[in-house]
Amino acid sequence: MRGDRMGVNKVIYNGTALVDLTGDTVTADVLQSGYTAHRADGERITGSGISLPTGGTAGQVLTKVSDVDFDAGWEDTVPASNPNLLDNWYFADPVNQRGQTEYAGAVYSIDRWYVGGDPGTSHKILLNSSGLVLETTSAIHQKLETKLKDGTVVTYSALIDNDIYTTTFTINNSSGYERRFEKNGFVLANNGVVNYFQIYNQNETNHKNVIAAKLEIGPRQTLARKEGDMWVLNDPPPNKTLELLKCQKCQLSMGQYIRLRASEYSANYIDFWIPLPVSMRGIPRIVNPDKLRVAAINRTEQAGFTFEVIQTKEIGVMLRATKANHGLTDGQLTTIGQVILDANP
């Protein structure tokens, strides 16, 4: 079949079809850009729809870039999950050495996370088996031990109920408080100067559970993936024993009832060596020294001592009990409740 203005779509020789395009379905919008072919009517067409990228290097994969059909690009092979730069990030079963089920005011709460919020408002978080509930105008934040380099691209994410909250930005250590992402009353923010990363419930009143959080290097979130209608964590919950050891570098509970013999003494102080399971990151402050007591060897309590940690070593700390002219030649350190050593950044 032939025409002066039409393309040839069928060639028949001796009753046999040698070329037959009449059943072809190719059109310009589904043909790779720049390539040529013929439509069912025989007309020559140039592809305009599919835009496959050129180049690429060994190990890269072709990835869908957007919701536009055939929009793809070469990207480095992405691991199943990036390392999480946050400690104690799984809030459904967090390390919680202080042992409370709710924390109110501007205080440290579960390990490594500080409670705060809008000035002049009340702040409270509640723990349950599904995560943390941040009451309205309340926030939690974590300070990193060391600052990331200026210009580092990071992604900060939180899984809140069945929804992912995520933002990618560039680290600027000279910037103050910046809101990075807002949705459903929640805000993800950071402070470059203070070096913290925050989850803030600005005005959500439905008591949603904050399940997990992640800070990672790179432009994508690997905290969770969607399976059907549900967001699920990419990684299993962290090993709680290992997470506890990480947290104890910054905060450590000495336990509720201990008794230690004096290591050194002088007329005005007594030193006690306290063995610990980890090396703390710095000399800690004693959060609740009112739970400490000094006693003579016969266990008679001695009043009037003040307490501070004066030294930290690889496997413990030296705690000093000070009292002018205390009169003891030996002694014991005891506790009457939980004592917290705090070396958080």
Model pLDDT for residues 211-256, shown as the tens digit of each residue: 999 999 999 999 999 888 999 999 999 999 999 999 999 999 987 8
CA distance 336 to 294: 11
If you average pLDDT over every residue of the chain, what do you get? 89
Q: Which residues contact 303 (CB under 8 A, 6 or more apart)?
A: none
The span from the CA of 199 to the CA of 202, in Å, is 9
For 251-342, CATH number out of 2.40.10, 3.30.310, 1.10.3210, 1.10.287 equals 2.40.10
At 78, is the pLDDT very low, low, confident or very high (cuts 50, 70, 90)?
very low
Specify the CATH number for 102-247; select among 2.170.140, 2.60.120, 3.40.190, 1.10.600: 2.60.120
Average pLDDT estimate for 24-48: 79
Query: Nearest to residue 32, comparing CAs of 54, 20, 45, 48?
Result: 48
Sort 74 into a burial class: Cβ within 10 Å, 0-12 / 13-18 / 19+: middle
Which pLDDT band, with edges at 50, 70 and 90, does 29 fall under? confident
Residue 30 has pLDDT above 80, yes or no: no
Residue 9 has pLDDT above 80, yes or no: no
Q: Which tokens hold the place of 71?
A: 């929009």
- Per-domain boundaries in the chain: 1-60, 102-247, 251-342
Reply yes or no on whether the pLDDT at 12 is more than 60. yes
Exposure string over 278-298, b if 16+ CB within 10 A, otherwise e: bebeeebebbeeebbbbeeee
Sign of the four-CA dihedral 293, 287, 110, 132 = positive
Instruction: Specify the pTM.
Output: 0.76
- Most confident option among 17-31, 50-64, 242-256: 242-256
Closest to 140 (Cα-Cα) out of 122, 124, 154, 127: 124
